[in-house]
Amino acid sequence: MTQLTQNLQGFWNPEHGTKSNPLPFSNGLNKALMTLSQPVYIIDHCGQMAVVTGGEAHIGKSSSMSGNKDSYGIVAFAPSLPLEHLGARSFKMRHNIKYPYIAGAMANGITSTQMVEAMAKNGMMGFFGSGGLSLSEVENAVIHLKKNLESLTPSLPWGINLIHSHGDPELEMAVVNLYIKHNVHCISAAAFMRITLPLVYYRLKGIHMDMEGRIITPNRMIAKVSRVEVARQFFSPPPEKMVSELFQMGLISQEEAKLSQSIPMAQDLTAEADSGGHTDNRPAIALLPTMLSLGDEFNEKFNYQEPLCVGLAGGISTPESTAAAFNMGAAYVLTGSINQSCIESGTSDTVRELLAQAEQADVAMAPAADMFEIGAKVQVLKRGTMFSVRADKLYHIYKNYDNFESVPEKIRKEIEEKFLQATFEQKWKETEAFFKVRNIKELQRAESDPRHKMALVFRSYLGLSSRWSIAGDPSRRMDYQIWCGPSMGAFNKWVKGSFLEKTQNRKVADVALNLLFGASICTRAGWLRNQGVDLPAGAGRFAPVDLERLYYYCIPNN
């Protein structure tokens, strides 16, 4: 008995006329792993390990094939793993997608209508980045997507962002009213620390029971969170106090109020790890298991009609990280930073090139425009821009001075000449004009609080900095605010030397499908490794390929 035959998994027999000739273990394994529709068998071939993908296999040592002279012992095997088998089936069915992959919403339309369409037409889902846009801009995007995707037969899935409007609940409700008006049935809820009235209103509008007694909830919500205390709120039914308030306001019916306690606020939740933009810098390997456990707890506690699902965002940028997410139990993955470097993103070519040069250490945390006063931060690219340094300086000034006039003259001059590129009062006039339209309450507060006036001017700089980068304004190159996580550097390292290295070749669906394809290969290699087989160097490693070649490997019998 050889060492190989001591722990056999079963026996394999070649079938006549099939592509089942044993291949050398050292150079035949990667091709076999890439043929996702076929199981991979490592067999004992004359005392040496060999690779086969066809034939007939019987798993179990007591197989009747064990005494067959044409049979070979199976040392290890990996089942087929088509891309559509990754993730949670219930999640894919709920959202009518083929693959468990989402292009996450990036504000100011960076996740553009073109990106959302590309994802939908390739069996995935995208969320339009509505944060930071005016109501008219958001409405135009909604009309465009409904026309281009819902008018098709069958209609294709899409979603849009609802970002929490800190200090401006009227704006949040206005956005929700817009979504309800246009029958937008899927949103990504982001930056929420607690459930709000507009969120509950959106979730409950239209809920009813069908003839078979099933609760139908037309409006779906995928919450993006990084804290357990927030996840608990989204996995719970809507707060009864808010339900009662909505009913008293006449915004929901008695049936909608009654059924509210039978559903969670969000059936699906994205555990957001170390990501670009708003982030708590949570490590994915710690965050995801905690959120999965929480989902199990609330499934058992409330016995919802449909299972709760948890996906992962933050750090998804290589086949290995994608595979790790699914192997830990993620129902789906969500990407952001890497999509910004794709041609469909709503940003400038200059930004795409800067992102394509980024390495993992080329990111920093900087004060956020939308929650500046409370010290909220966003993760941004620091290579090729001074934004993070300048934003930090503005926040330091805000924390240490009661008004702009009390700031030392030398620092005031630097802020006006290099940051604002205008006098403070000139910038205040522009800021004042903006808030007269956007939120008059901010101006009323600024009249009696010069420190708040200073904060509004600084917030104006922070807010405009992302628009300068999107527009590719060359005069503001050093002020570009580019949301980015360390995953961007990992992605650039992975695609180096492939067709995806150049930004003009980066299409969001090509990137997504290559990540899923690579994840399937990594997973199958891991299955073999975990059966005690030392794989050759490079086995399971995958470099991006064009979609024609990728689909070739996904077709059965190739």
Q: CB of 225 within 8 A of CB of 272?
A: yes
pLDDT for the residue numbered 1: 44
- Tokens representing 354? 């800067």
pLDDT at position 154 is 83
Residue 554: pLDDT over 90: no
Which residues pair with residue 161 across a beta bridge? Answer: 188
Average pLDDT, the chain: 94
Of the pLDDT bands very low, low, confident and very high (cuts 50, 70, 90), residue 213 is very high
Residue 367 is encoded by which pair of tokens?
């004060």
446 close to 456: Cβ distance less than 8 angstroms: yes
> Which residues partner with 343 through β-bridges?
none
Cα angle 424, 430, 432 (rounded to 5 degrees) comes to: 95
Residue 497's SS3 state is coil
Q: What is the mean pLDDT of residues 187-213?
A: 97
Q: Which residue has the higher pLDDT, 62 or 108?
A: 108
Q: Which residues pair with 189 in a beta bridge?
A: 162, 223
- What are the domain boundaries of the chain? 4-80+520-554, 85-335, 353-479
Instruction: Give the best-scoring range by mean pLDDT among 113-122, 274-283, 363-372.
Output: 113-122
Cα distances (Å, whole numbers) of residue 89 to 85, 99, 301, 310, 506 = 8, 9, 22, 12, 28
Q: What are phi and psi of 189, to 5 degrees?
A: -90, 115
Q: So what's the pLDDT on residue 79?
A: 96
Candidates 269, 259, 274; CA nearest to 297 is: 269
| HSE (side-chain half, CA atoms, 13 Å) at 126 | 33
CA distance 480 to 464: 9
CB 108 within 8 A of CB 346: yes
Q: Is 198 helix (H, G, I), strand (E, B) or coil?
A: helix
CA torsion through residues 506, 88, 235, 159, sign: positive
Instruction: Determine the 3-state secondary structure of 232 from DSSP.
Output: helix
Torsions phi, psi of 51, nearest 5? Answer: -115, 135
Query: pLDDT tens digits for 404-422?
Result: 999 999 999 999 999 999 9
Task: Give the integer Cα–Cα distance in Å for 179 and 170.
Answer: 14
List Cα–Cα distances, 115 to 118, 302, 468, 506, 507, in angstroms. 5, 36, 21, 12, 9
Cβ-contact 186, 66 below 8 angstroms: no
Closest alpha carbon to 353 in 341, 366, 344, 367 = 341
Q: What does R_g of the chain's alpha carbons equal in angstroms?
A: 27
Q: Which pLDDT belongs to residue 371?
A: 84
Write down the pTM of the prediction. 0.94
Structure tokens at 495: 């695609």
Distance separating alpha carbons of residues 380 and 363, to the nearest angstrom:
5
Q: Write the pLDDT tens digit of every residue in 161-175.
A: 999 988 789 999 999
Average pLDDT score over residue span 206-235: 97
**What is the pLDDT at residue 143?**
98
DSSP-derived pairing of the beta strands 186-190 and 40-45: unpaired
* pLDDT of amino acid 6: 65
How many Å apart are CA 526 and CA 535, to the nearest integer?
9
What is the pLDDT averaged over residues 443-448? 92
CA-nearest of 120, 95, 113 to 187 is 95
Q: Angle CA(342)–CA(382)–CA(402) in degrees, nearest 5? A: 125
Q: Are 210 and 216 in contact (CB under 8 A)?
A: yes
Cis check for the bond before 154: say yes or no (omega within 30 of 0).
yes
- pLDDT at position 23, please? 84
pLDDT above 90 coverage of the chain, percent:
84
**Rounded CA separation 452/428 (Å):** 12
> What pLDDT shows up at residue 251?
98
What is the average pLDDT across 370-389?
93
Grade residue 35 by pLDDT with cuts at 50, 70 and 90: very high
Pairing outcome for strands 40-45 and 48-52 = antiparallel
- Provide the token pair at 397: 């000034």
DSSP secondary structure code for residue 223 in this structure = E
CATH class of residue range 85-335? alpha beta
Instruction: Give the model's confidence band at 231: pLDDT under 50 very low, under 70 low, under 90 confident, else very high.
Output: very high
Tokens for 201? 């209103």
**Helix (H/G/I), strand (E/B), else coil: 542:** coil
Is 309 within 8 Å of 288 (Cβ atoms)?
Answer: no
Residue 298 has pLDDT above 90, yes or no: yes
What per-residue confidence (pLDDT) applies to 65?
57
CA distance 424 to 277: 27
Q: How far apart are CA 10 and CA 280, in angstroms?
A: 48
Helices 508-529 and 25-34 pack at an angle, to 10 degrees, of: 130
Q: How far is CA 55 from the centre of its chain?
A: 40
pLDDT tier, 472 (very low <50, low <70, confident <90, very high otherwise): very high
Phi-psi region of 100 (alpha: psi -120 to 50; beta: other; left: phi over 0): beta
